[in-house]
Amino acid sequence: MTKSASLSPFIAIIGAGPAGLMAAERLSSLSYRVAIYDRMPMPGRKFLMAGRGGLNLTHTEPLDQFLAHYGEARDFITPFITAFPPADLCAWCDSLGESHFVGSSGRVFPKSFKASPLLRAWLRRLEAQGVAFFMRHDWKGCDDQGALRFETEAHATELVKADAVLLALGGASWPKLGATGSWQSVLCDQAIAITPLTASNVGVKVAWSEYFTSRFAGDPLKRLIVSCGAQRAVGEAIVTQQGIEGGAIYALGPALRESISRLGHAMLSLDLRRDVSEADLISRLTKPRGKKSLSTFLASAAGLDPVSIALLRETFFLRDEKLPEDPHALARAIKTCAIKVQGLSGLDRAISTAGGIHRDEIDSHLMIKKMPGVFVAGEMIDWDAPTGGYLMQACFSTSVAAANGIVNWLGKSSA
């Protein structure tokens, strides 16, 4: 971007999600003039959606374990999270008057458990620091002189010159909340490589019978170990009309995508009683059944709830097989309940997206190499992570890194 004549550099941030807001806070605290532009009528729309079931900011597990959740992007993401780790994010939350607390699983939440009180306090801070907001401004790229081009609500074109720019436009999940991925065409015109955006942290599609969905859609599956190939996750899930979703499913996203891409389907294996060994189950199921139905016996002897029993029956029904009654085969079926996945749900229901600007296109300060002075943060970059605090942490950490990169670049360019 072209340097302006102002003594106080002006920084334009495009995107009013958590990455854009955090960068704005950092930069405005250093007396830079900061403006945030967004196509939606209010900031933090997806942030609010993320907090509907409890705003999971980060996780308290040891850093080495924490970083392992970023898979093949671990080496890329490590320096940013190391520089702004979970402890710093917790301290930031506390500083807004929303003291954090740690749940039994190690996940971190604000005391209110919701996003709205935190967002209100955050916006008050940004206003006090002089951050300007320009909502209903849809970024359309840059003109020949490097000015940012926005389309306003009145369909007028507005040009904005800035000393530095941060792109924090998110991926393409839940597009009705603002992240449409339309920025891809703008950057492709600049010959910037982009890994295609695909749904992540999303449910899977299973061809359930009408009977099963009519009775059990919406029911939770607890105490699970879920596997896809060599990958496994511990947690819970929920039966849906279209298939199954939940934290344990989301954690296997990369393995599921790879299998579906290669084979056209994927196989999930559910351990329906992770807290009971197969040998113990065999022992329990060897006891006399008497006049009990098989379902009643599975409930009393194996400790399975109705939805788990129905799921077990459903998987055999879908294979045109009968649920075995032999204790050894039955115990094996409970520990390795096999579900054929036909595909992933779409971006319109995904929590996040995988893919984005190829990591080779940005430098260590998160500046786009082919666009000097233009930085990027959050889900626009090609990395992926499961829910549980890992998504939010990386968005915050990369935004802090990009803000620091802008400060560094402005310092060098003014020298």
- Say what percent of the chain tops pLDDT 90: 91
Q: Is 287 exposed, middle or buried (0-12, 13-18, 19+ CB in 10 A)?
A: exposed
DSSP letter at 323 equals: P
Instruction: Looking at the structure, tell me whether residues 125 and 209 fall in a common domain.
Output: no
In this prediction, residue 4 has a pLDDT band, given cuts at 50, 70 and 90, of: very low
In a domain, 3, yes or no: no
In a domain, 1, yes or no: no
Instruction: Looking at the structure, tell me whether residues 100 and 113 fall in a common domain.
Output: yes
**Computed from CA positions of residues 323, 340, 266, 222, in that sequence, does the dihedral angle turn out positive or negative?**
negative
Instruction: Looking at the structure, tell me whether residues 279 and 248 fall in a common domain.
Output: yes
Instruction: Looking at the structure, tell me whether residues 375 and 307 fall in a common domain.
Output: no
pLDDT of 1 higher than 70: no
End of a domain among 291, 311, 344?
344
- For residue 55, what pLDDT is reported? 94
What b/e string do you get for 127-137 counting C-beta neighbours within 10 Å, with b at 16 or more? eebebebbeeb
Instruction: Looking at the structure, tell me whether residues 279 and 372 fall in a common domain.
Output: no
End of a domain among 344, 366, 390?
344
Instruction: Looking at the structure, tell me whether residues 146 and 294 fall in a common domain.
Output: no
pLDDT of 415 higher than 50: yes
pLDDT of 2 higher than 50: no
Instruction: Looking at the structure, tell me whether residues 327 and 410 fall in a common domain.
Output: no
Q: What is the mean pLDDT of residues 74-89?
A: 98
In a domain, 369, yes or no: yes
End of a domain among 327, 344, 361?
344
Q: What is the pTM of this model?
A: 0.89
Q: What domain count does the chain have?
A: 2
Query: Please, what is the average pLDDT of the chain?
Result: 94
In a domain, 4, yes or no: no
In a domain, 53, yes or no: yes
**Computed from CA positions of residues 212, 218, 222, 227, in that sequence, does the dihedral angle turn out positive or negative?**
positive
Residue-wise pLDDT for 347-368, tens only, equals: 888 999 999 999 999 999 999 9
In this prediction, residue 50 has a pLDDT band, given cuts at 50, 70 and 90, of: confident
In a domain, 318, yes or no: yes
Under a CB-based contact definition with an 8 Å cutoff, are residues 96 and 121 in contact? yes
Instruction: Looking at the structure, tell me whether residues 213 and 118 fall in a common domain.
Output: no
Closest CA to 391 of 84, 57, 119, 80: 57
Instruction: Looking at the structure, tell me whether residues 363 and 340 fall in a common domain.
Output: no
In this prediction, residue 174 has a pLDDT band, given cuts at 50, 70 and 90, of: confident
What CATH number should be reported for the domain holding residue 375? 3.50.50.60
Instruction: Looking at the structure, tell me whether residues 285 and 361 fall in a common domain.
Output: no
Instruction: Looking at the structure, tell me whether residues 227 and 319 fall in a common domain.
Output: yes
Residue-wise pLDDT for 280-338, tens only, equals: 999 999 999 999 999 999 999 999 999 999 999 999 999 999 999 999 999 999 999 99
Question: % helix / strand / coil in the chain, to the nearest 5?
Answer: 40, 25, 40
- Residue 274, CA distances (Å) to 49, 280, 323 in order: 31, 12, 20
Over its C-alpha atoms, the chain yields an Rg (Å, rounded) of: 24
In a domain, 320, yes or no: yes
Residue span of the structural domain in which 292 resides = 204-344
In a domain, 158, yes or no: yes
Where helices occur in 144-293 by DSSP H, the ranges are: 183-188, 210-216, 247-250, 253-263, 278-285
Residue-wise pLDDT for 359-399, tens only, equals: 999 999 999 999 999 999 999 999 999 999 999 999 999 99
- For residue 170, what pLDDT is reported? 95
Instruction: Please list the residues that pair with 354 across neighbouring strands.
Output: 198
- For residue 244, what pLDDT is reported? 97
Instruction: Looking at the structure, tell me whether residues 50 and 163 fall in a common domain.
Output: yes
- For residue 158, what pLDDT is reported? 97
- For residue 5, what pLDDT is reported? 45
Who contacts 6 (Cβ-Cβ below 8 Å, separation ≥6)?
A: 33, 163
pLDDT of 3 higher than 90: no
